[in-house]
Copies of this chain bind each other. A is one copy, B any other.
Amino acid sequence: MTDHNSAIQVTVWNENRHEKKNPKVAAIYPQGIHGAIAAALSAESGLAVRTATLDEPEHGLTQAVLDGTDVLIWWGHMAHHDVRDEIVERVKKRVHAGMGLIVLHSGHYSKIFKALMGTACSLKWRESTDKERLWVVNPAHPVAAGLPGHFELPFEEMYGEPFAIPAPDELVFISWFTGGEVFRSGAAWQRGCGRVFYFRPGHETYPTYHDANIQRVIANAVRWARPAANLADIHPPRPEACAPLEPLPPDPGAAERPAIGHR
């Protein structure tokens, strides 16, 4: 079993393109969105935080990095298609094996999120001056720990329903927007042995990741998404042949039937 006294290994992944192209974004996030999130998480006890970005070799997500990651945070937007399919597959397998995954904002449309959900993950959106108010609909959920009943972001991109996701295993937040929309903005699923949390806020042109409540949610989600146990090998990567535990009835077609494990 995982030693829960050891640090949680967190990798914050960011495509890191807006920061390079848009001075306004660079001004808000001089260390990148990944840098801002990593800095906030590093102030928490019990977390060991590193970052990775799209333009690093293997997008910074080598097998070794993933094997050493308990929880991966994902921010992407304009460059989803530049993420190589084999890296997406590698991340997916690691989630199946137990790694937690926290998908932020426009990551709803990342290859990895769509692959884990099995749906289009489409939504309505508007980049304007909406205020977003997030309501906690499940105050007992660990991701809502320490939060008030609702909290606000003075300006955010709007995302609206219908959000084409599978029904969440757990719904934690619903957002209200000035312009008249609602959104399931904090939702959780299990995929294989891994926990997945989607958290809506975080458009690159707003200082959302400097907000204390947003930082609280992400830190809570990291702790919630940590694998509960040493999960190596518990979900076999392939169908697994097995022998009976109890006596079987006689085989009426024994002569014709191929032996167990023939395929």
Contacts and interface: CB of A to CB of B under 8 A. Distances in A.
Interface of A: 1, 24, 78, 92, 96, 98, 109, 115-120, 122-131, 133, 135-142, 144-146, 149-150, 155, 158, 160-164, 166-167, 169-171, 174-182, 184, 189-195, 205, 227-229, 231, 234-252, 256-258, 260, 262-263
Contacts of A96: 119-120, 164
By DSSP majority rule, is chain A's interface helix, strand, loop, or mixed? loop
Contacts of A240: 122-125
A229 B123 CA distance: 20
Contacts of A119: 96, 191-192
Contacts of A118: 92, 115-118, 191
A161 B190 CA distance: 17
A122 B238 contact: yes
Given A123-B239, A139-B235, A169-B170, 17 more contacts: A24-B256, A96-B120, A109-B239, A116-B118, A120-B235, A124-B236, A125-B241, A127-B258, A127-B260, A127-B262, A135-B182, A137-B161, A141-B228, A162-B235, A166-B191, A175-B182, A179-B248
A129 B229 contact: no
B167 A190 contact: yes
A254 B251 CA distance: 33
The 10 closest A-B pairs by CB, nearest first: A179-B244, A180-B245, A140-B193, A139-B234, A180-B246, A116-B118, A129-B251, A145-B229, A142-B228, A118-B118
